[in-house]
Structure 1
Amino acid sequence: MKPVTLIGAPTDVGASIRGASMGPEALRVADIAG
């Protein structure tokens, strides 16, 4: 698997979908991405 880096860039993509803003943070909490 190739490593990936998550960046904390604010965006309104998925704004109408409940929980969409939690995606990157959920990956960090699960220790899937560093």
Structure 2
Amino acid sequence: MAACPEDRYESVLASRYCKRSPLIEILSERNK
């Protein structure tokens, strides 16, 4: 049962990361 809420939280984080993916890529390139 615990997997249900965890999956939901992961989906929400994934959706947020997907939107920020371009920003993360730019920051990762600058860090390098």
Structure 2 length normalisation: TM-score?
A: 0.34
Give the number of the structure with larger relative contact order, counting CA–CA contacts within 8 Å between residues 6 or more apart: 1
Greater helix share, structure number: 2
Structure 1 length normalisation: TM-score?
A: 0.33
